[in-house]
């Protein structure tokens, strides 16, 4: 049987190596994309154990900064199909396997 300490070390190394934002898809303008990405990273780090609070923080800040009707989904292993306003979608990964989808629809 494999040593469990070694498995935990490999998992910790994996999480440390992948602790950066990775944009999977976006159609946002550059300035909005950078601000949204930084906001997502900040919220996910602040609420590392509570995805609901992180999503609420992102939604409220995006509503305040870029107008209302923003939606946020944060989690692992989910699929989605959405309709969104053009130039208002960000789908990214953070911390290895945590996905964040932010979009606006009216």
Asked whether the predicted pLDDT for residue 9 surpasses 80, the reply is no
Structure tokens at 49: 């154990």
The domain locations on the chain are: 19-104
Provide the pLDDT for residue 8.
Answer: 61
Q: Which residues pair with 103 in a beta bridge?
A: 71, 89
Give the integer Cα–Cα distance in Å for 73 and 36: 13
CATH code at 19-104? 3.30.740.10
- Count of C-beta atoms within a 10 Å radius of residue 69: 15
pLDDT in tens, 58-94: 999 999 999 999 999 999 989 889 999 999 999 999 9
Task: For residue 34, name the pLDDT band (cuts at 50, 70, 90).
Answer: very high
Task: For residue 47, name the pLDDT band (cuts at 50, 70, 90).
Answer: very high
Mean pLDDT across 43-49 = 93
Element housing 70 (H / E): strand 70-75
């Amino acid at each position: 049987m494999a040593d469990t300490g070694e498995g935990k070390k490999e998992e910790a190394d994996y999480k440390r190596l992948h602790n950066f934002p990775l944009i999977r898809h976006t159609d946002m303008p550059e300035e909005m994309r950078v601000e949204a990405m930084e906001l997502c990273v900040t919220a996910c780090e602040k609420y590392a154990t509570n995805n609901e609070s992180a999503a609420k923080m992102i939604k409220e800040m995006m509503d305040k900064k870029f107008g209302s009707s923003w939606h946020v989904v944060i989690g692992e292993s989910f699929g989605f199909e959405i309709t969104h306003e053009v130039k208002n979608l960000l789908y990214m990964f953070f911390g290895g396997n945590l996905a964040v989808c932010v979009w606006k629809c009216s």
